[in-house]
A = this chain, B = another copy of it.
Amino acid sequence: MELTALTLNEVADLIARGWVSPVELTEAYLRRIDLLDPQLISFITITADLALEQARAAQEEIGRGVYRGPLHGIPLAIKDLFETAGVRTTAGSKQLVQHVPVDDSAVVARLRAAGAIMLGKLNMHEWAMSVTTINPHWGTCRNPWDLNRIAGGSSGGSGAALAAELCSGALGSDTGGSIRVPASFCGVVGLKPTFGRVSTRGVLPLSWNLDHAGPMARRVQDVAIMQQIIAGYDPADPYSIDAPVGDYPDLRAGVRGWRVALALDGFFSASKQPDPEVIAAVRAAAQVFEQLGAQVTEIALDGTQTATRATLNMIVTDSAAYHAERLAQQPDDFGADVLESLQRGAKLAGTEYVLARRTQTTFRRQIEQLFDDYEILLTPTTPVAAPPVDEPESSQSRRPMLVSYTAPFNLAGTPALSLPCGFTGDNLPIGLQIVARPWAEATVLQAGYAYEQATSWHDRRPSF
């Protein structure tokens, strides 16, 4: 097997033993990026020189016995929303083509300190403002499972680069589903942590009140390893919350005796329903949890449609506030869909925003109380598998449908994991979403790991 196909955890073990050098691993990924990324456009910026320099430093340190832990010498790629010292950070926009930050974002600094290597900056939906990564400035990111389909977004580059084995792990951000949707469409694993768990200092904002930074990788264990490094209180981020961090890589708890809620309905109006293939795959996943000793109860979740609308109203208004100056001065520098969203946000009344916030507060309490009765909640991550680039599901007006299962948990602020739970007849990945109470990242990771160990969806690889 090629080095690049190994999981983060596998290759970290080989690096720790000195059997693989960070330099050869980095070179292997850079070669693969050169070879394959022109078709995918998962990267906006490839930082080959920096990566090799970091790899040599890691190799030298490890060689003299200074091993920093499981991210030491591991090549990662970073969504281009995270500021990186000395490396252009575009947010997928052409407006920031000259933006070279002085400082690293808080999480990038933590990854660097852990010895990780940065291969480059990943493609994304412009300003993170939708879930397709159809990007008019940097090119549309393609799905490795079918190049005619979207990779999802806004962290589309993260999902595609992982699925195509162009990096060991990636950073994403999630405001309405932007980690989980591309994880679902690309057949990888993504964690949206609890709101306030991971610092968003130095992450270009979409919505201050809903933005979550989080890890993505090919396996649950890999996501847990990254989460351990990036989690934790940051007094310099006013949205960061001081709560004890768990031991995330210890995933062996199992789900025996857990009470598991399964929610499939209530997320959609009558005019649009999820794909039956998706529903069947998630039902089958719930049966796996039963076989693992959990007790599964199918429930109807109230208020999710209102929650999704509130989330989308907050996103467009928060972003219109942030972009007010650009919107007034250079509106045409935005892509058409982003401009339309921003203009909608600029027009939204304060009183409507108040009602969205009110929905947030009451829905959050409702979800917290749900977890008085259940350890975890299972839902599909997305109602359909990755739609074609040119089909209606990818059009601006249909995109909110894609976040129907994910956006409510941005509003609630709960941790939510997406991982593969099957494939459509067209060989497209289907995502399972696992949600738990606030701060229970360990719970969703343990549940995801138990499911992953019991299944083998992760063995399938895209061939393109």
A residues near B (Cβ < 8 Å) are 208-209, 235, 238-239, 313, 317-318, 320-321, 324, 345-355, 357-358, 361-362, 364-365, 369
Chain A, interface SS category: helix
A362–B238 touching, CB < 8 Å: yes
30 A-B residue pairs with Cβ-Cβ distance under 8 Å, sorted by A, are A208-B354, A208-B361, A209-B357, A235-B365, A235-B369, A238-B361, A238-B364, A238-B365, A313-B350, A317-B350, A317-B351, A317-B354, A320-B350, A320-B351, A321-B352, A321-B354, A321-B355, A321-B358, A324-B351, A346-B349, A346-B351, A347-B350, A348-B349, A348-B350, A349-B350, A350-B352, A350-B353, A353-B353, A353-B354, A357-B357
Minimal beta-carbon separation of A84 from chain B (angstroms): 24
- Copy tally for this chain in the complex stands at 2
B residues less than 8 Å from A318 (CB atoms): 354
Minimal beta-carbon separation of A86 from chain B (angstroms): 27
Minimal beta-carbon separation of A384 from chain B (angstroms): 31
B residues less than 8 Å from A358 (CB atoms): 208, 321
**CA A421 – CA B350 in complex, angstroms?**
40
**CA A150 – CA B197 in complex, angstroms?**
47
Minimal beta-carbon separation of A383 from chain B (angstroms): 28
B residues less than 8 Å from A208 (CB atoms): 354, 357-358, 361
**CA A347 – CA B352 in complex, angstroms?**
11
Minimal beta-carbon separation of A198 from chain B (angstroms): 16
The 7 closest A-B pairs by CB, nearest first: A348-B350, A238-B365, A321-B351, A321-B354, A350-B353, A317-B350, A238-B361
B residues less than 8 Å from A348 (CB atoms): 349-351
Starting from the known contacts A320-B350, A321-B351, 18 additional A-B residue pairs (CB-CB under 8 Å) come to: A208-B361, A235-B369, A238-B362, A238-B365, A239-B361, A317-B350, A317-B353, A318-B354, A321-B350, A321-B354, A324-B351, A345-B351, A346-B351, A348-B349, A350-B352, A350-B353, A353-B354, A357-B357
**Which residue of chain B lies nearest to A346 when distances are taken between CB atoms in the complex?**
B351
Minimal beta-carbon separation of A280 from chain B (angstroms): 36
**Which residue of chain B lies nearest to A313 when distances are taken between CB atoms in the complex?**
B350
**CA A357 – CA B355 in complex, angstroms?**
14
**Which residue of chain B lies nearest to A344 when distances are taken between CB atoms in the complex?**
B350
Minimal beta-carbon separation of A58 from chain B (angstroms): 35
B residues less than 8 Å from A351 (CB atoms): 317, 320-321, 324, 345-346, 348
B residues less than 8 Å from A362 (CB atoms): 238
**Which residue of chain B lies nearest to A316 when distances are taken between CB atoms in the complex?**
B350
B residues less than 8 Å from A369 (CB atoms): 235
B357–A350 touching, CB < 8 Å: no
**CA A364 – CA B317 in complex, angstroms?**
22
